Structure 1
Amino acid sequence: MTPSRLTVADVCADLGISRSTFYDWRAKGRGPKCIRLPNGELRIRVADYERWLEELEESA
């Protein structure tokens, strides 16, 4: 079964970037839309992540 949400580690591994790069992009408003869980961890909906990647392709 495919997960409906990804962790920051999942996204970083997929993109081949460090966690610090992910958080830098997020701070600059350049990363995918995230959900903050009650425990403070972030999750990224797969649909939001795929949409964000498509937007990057369109602007390239």
Structure 2
Amino acid sequence: MATVTRLHAAMLTLPEVCTELQVSRSTFYDWRQKGRAPRCITLPNGSLRIRRADLDNWLNARQDAA
């Protein structure tokens, strides 16, 4: 059970990511369509999840590119 909880904690919802990045959902989907968003996992119900590590790596890559 603790492992499942840790895995869930490492997965962010789209609203959590948008809040952290201070962007709208439509902006995130635009980035995703253009291949510029962090890697996403699509759940069977269509919801998106983003691994914390993938978001952190994506942010670090943006910093180096600036």
Matches within 5 A, 1:1-60: 3-60=9-66
* 3-state SS, counterpart of residue 38 of structure 1: coil
User: Structure 1 CA distance, aligned partners of 2:47 and 2:18?
Assistant: 15
User: Structure 1 CA distance, aligned partners of 2:12 and 2:34?
Assistant: 20
Structure 2 residue runs of 5 or longer lacking an equivalent are: none
What is the TM-score of this pair, normalised by structure 1?
0.95
| Larger Cα-atom Rg | 2
Structure 1 residue runs of 5 or longer lacking an equivalent are: none
What letter is aligned with 1:50?
Answer: D
Q: Percent identity?
A: 55
Larger fraction in helix: 2
After superposing on structure 2, the runs of 4+ consecutive aligned residues of structure 1 that deviate more than 6 Å are: none
Across the two proteins, how many residue pairs are aligned to each other?
Answer: 60
